A and B are shown apart, each in its own frame.
Chain A
Amino acid sequence: MREEMDNQEVLLTAEHLHKEFDGTVILKDMNLSVKRGEVIVIIGPSGCGKSTFLRCLNGLETIQGGKITLDGETVESGGKGIAGLRERIGMVFQSYELFPHKTVLQNITLAPTKVRKIPRGEAEKEALELLERVGLEEKKNSYPRQLSGGQKQRVAIVRALAMHPDVLLFDEVTAALDPEMVREVLDVMLSLAQQGRTMLIVTHEMSFARAVADRVIFLDDGEIVEEGKPLEFFDHPKTERAQRFLNTFTYAKVEK
């Protein structure tokens, strides 16, 4: 599969991306190009700029330098076509942000009916199909507060999918979940990868990263320090910083 990927068209790019918050440099000279169908996992220590990077990619943050393109079109926060581009870039956040005043079904069909302007009946039919695939069709008339964290995140994923995005961004979508609910969400993401979806995933779930990624990117202090195929990266990290980071996930046996 990875060899095939080389001939795939480039879908999303970041070139010399530079991002500051109030004069503090958060991301410096980030370069990344994502091919159609590619699954990229971004890892790195807390505060290194992972969320900010994803948010720049769909124009939720303004950037102070560089360029982001989707299919050749420039993504610019506050730009004229930004809503149209965001339609094509789905995003799921860490804190499941469903719309609390709407049912599960309404959460999913809101944007398709108002933004893509497809008829309600059609939108509902598709929403139900998608819900069924994540095992939540019986929750269609529930309100978000009646769902568990894992169920909310699955609905949030379905809500993003209903817009038929070209690429999906996931920002630590399991970080706020109880351990027993992490799996049900990761399974949904694994099946999306199997379907050939283009995805950028920020996660701390290392064994999941190893399983799902075509490419792993290690971000530290606002720059890409190392990138590689998952097995190479996890088993033989080249840089010292990546080695140190990966070591924080392993524990030495207590000697007694």
Chain B
Amino acid sequence: MVEFGLLQNFGFDVLFKGSNMLRLLQGLWVALRISLISVALSIGLGLIVGAVMTLKNPVIKAVTRVYLEIVRILPQMVMLFLVFFGTTRIFGWNLSAELSAVIVFTFWGTAEMADLVRGSLISIPRHQYESGAALGMTLPQIYRYIVIPQTVRRLIPLSINLITRMIKTTSLVMMIGVVEVLKVGQQIIEANRKASPNAAFGVFATVFALYFIACWPISLLAKQLEKRWKDA
């Protein structure tokens, strides 16, 4: 059969063996679950931390500055190892790999999100506040109708970029033993080394496609919103 031959040549055949495709999808779900929980926490915490960062308090400024620098300098993988292998030994607690991953990604995502929130907030010119005040609006009204809508418009494309970066970076969690989509892929390739030597291409191409399917709609949404708000 020509069709089957083609599948085999490129190593896609392994996907149809047993429950392999289902396992890949389950692996994708593990990766997405970690990212979605981390993203949700990061957005919530980032909004608060970012708003706090606009305060002119020097202590708050110094602390958030250091936090941001640490997150920027430290590779995510080092953070994962530190939390999962390091702290479990020292403090003797029993963190699951998945929880460790959520902690690390939230720690990272919150810093990045907070910086985006801070940047968007301070980019609203002082005159916008004053125009509202001069019309008799109270500070809560100025935030609600003038500042926050403009901040959100600037924030959404930026934070969607962050979200897709976070989803992609979750592939690192296999390094601490979480069986997510990439790890499942490797297992399938290992198991079929003899029968389908080309499985690596088929499996990784599929993983690529799965990541693409997960991130693409988010990018599309970002473009859509950007276009809609370009006038505004």
In the complex, chain A residues whose CB is within 8 Å of the CB of B232: 100-102, 143
Chain B proximity mask over A70-91: 1 for CB below 8 Å, otherwise 0: 0000000000000110111111
Interface residues on A, range: 20 to 34
Which stretch of B30-38, B137-145, B175-183 is in the interface?
A: B137-145
Pair A95/B133 contact, Cβ less than 8 Å: no
Which stretch of A3-11, A17-25, A38-46, A107-115 is in the interface?
A: A107-115
Taking the complex as formed, is A245 at the interface, i.e. its CB lies under 8 A from any CB of chain B? no
Taking the complex as formed, is B224 at the interface, i.e. its CB lies under 8 A from any CB of chain A? no
Taking the complex as formed, is A159 at the interface, i.e. its CB lies under 8 A from any CB of chain B? yes
In the complex, chain A residues whose CB is within 8 Å of the CB of B133: 60, 83, 86
Which stretch of B2-10, B146-154, B189-197 is in the interface?
A: B146-154
Greatest chain A CB density within 10 A among B130, B131, B146 is at B131
In the complex, chain A residues whose CB is within 8 Å of the CB of B134: 58, 60, 86, 89-91, 93, 160
Chain A proximity mask over B153-191: 1 for CB below 8 Å, otherwise 0: 100000000000000000000000000000000000000
Known: A93-B127, A101-B149, A115-B141. Is A145-B135 also a contact (CB below 8 A)?
A: no
In the complex, chain A residues whose CB is within 8 Å of the CB of B149: 101
Taking the complex as formed, is A234 at the interface, i.e. its CB lies under 8 A from any CB of chain B? no
In the complex, chain A residues whose CB is within 8 Å of the CB of B231: 143, 145-146
Q: Which single residue of chain A is at the shortest CB-CB distance from B144?
A: A114
A84 vs B136: C-alpha distance when bound (angstroms): 6
Known: A114-B145, A143-B231, A143-B232. Is A83-B137 also a contact (CB below 8 A)?
A: yes
Taking the complex as formed, is B128 at the interface, i.e. its CB lies under 8 A from any CB of chain A? yes
CB distance from A56 to the nearest CB of B (A): 13
Known: A100-B232, A101-B149, A110-B145. Is A115-B130 also a contact (CB below 8 A)?
A: no
Interface residues on B, range: 20 to 34
Q: Which single residue of chain A is at the shortest CB-CB distance from B231?
A: A143
In the complex, chain A residues whose CB is within 8 Å of the CB of B150: 99-101
Chain B proximity mask over A198-240: 1 for CB below 8 Å, otherwise 0: 0000000000000000000000000000000000000000000
Taking the complex as formed, is A132 at the interface, i.e. its CB lies under 8 A from any CB of chain B? no
Known: A99-B146, A101-B153, A145-B231. Is A111-B127 also a contact (CB below 8 A)?
A: no
CB distance from B172 to the nearest CB of A (A): 38
Of B131, B137, B153, the contact of A93 (CB 8 Å cutoff): B131
Would you list 16 pairs from A and B whose C-beta atoms are within 8 A, ordered by A residue? A86-B135, A91-B134, A93-B130, A97-B125, A97-B127, A97-B131, A99-B131, A100-B150, A100-B232, A101-B149, A102-B232, A111-B135, A114-B145, A115-B136, A145-B231, A146-B231
CB distance from B80 to the nearest CB of A (A): 40
In the complex, chain B residues whose CB is within 8 Å of the CB of A167: none
CB distance from A254 to the nearest CB of B (A): 41
Instruction: List 4 tightest A-B contacts by C-beta distance, closest first.
Output: A87-B136, A111-B135, A91-B134, A97-B127
Taking the complex as formed, is A163 at the interface, i.e. its CB lies under 8 A from any CB of chain B? yes
In the complex, chain A residues whose CB is within 8 Å of the CB of B135: 86-87, 90, 110-111, 115, 159-160, 163
Q: Which single residue of chain B is at the shortest CB-CB distance from A145?
A: B231
In the complex, chain B residues whose CB is within 8 Å of the CB of A91: 134
A160 vs B134: C-alpha distance when bound (angstroms): 9
A114 vs B137: C-alpha distance when bound (angstroms): 8
Pair B127/A83 contact, Cβ less than 8 Å: no
In the complex, chain A residues whose CB is within 8 Å of the CB of B131: 93, 97-99
A86 vs B149: C-alpha distance when bound (angstroms): 23
A239 vs B145: C-alpha distance when bound (angstroms): 48
CB distance from A210 to the nearest CB of B (A): 27
A80 vs B141: C-alpha distance when bound (angstroms): 15
In the complex, chain B residues whose CB is within 8 Å of the CB of A83: 133, 136-138
In the complex, chain A residues whose CB is within 8 Å of the CB of B127: 93, 95, 97
In the complex, chain A residues whose CB is within 8 Å of the CB of B229: 101
In the complex, chain A residues whose CB is within 8 Å of the CB of B132: 111
A163 vs B134: C-alpha distance when bound (angstroms): 10
Pair A97/B130 contact, Cβ less than 8 Å: yes
A126 vs B231: C-alpha distance when bound (angstroms): 25
A116 vs B153: C-alpha distance when bound (angstroms): 27
CB distance from A91 to the nearest CB of B (A): 4
In the complex, chain B residues whose CB is within 8 Å of the CB of A115: 135-137, 141
In the complex, chain B residues whose CB is within 8 Å of the CB of A100: 150, 232
Q: Which single residue of chain A is at the shortest CB-CB distance from B149?
A: A101
In the complex, chain B residues whose CB is within 8 Å of the CB of A89: 134
Pair B128/A163 contact, Cβ less than 8 Å: no
Chain B proximity mask over A47-66: 1 for CB below 8 Å, otherwise 0: 00000000000101000000
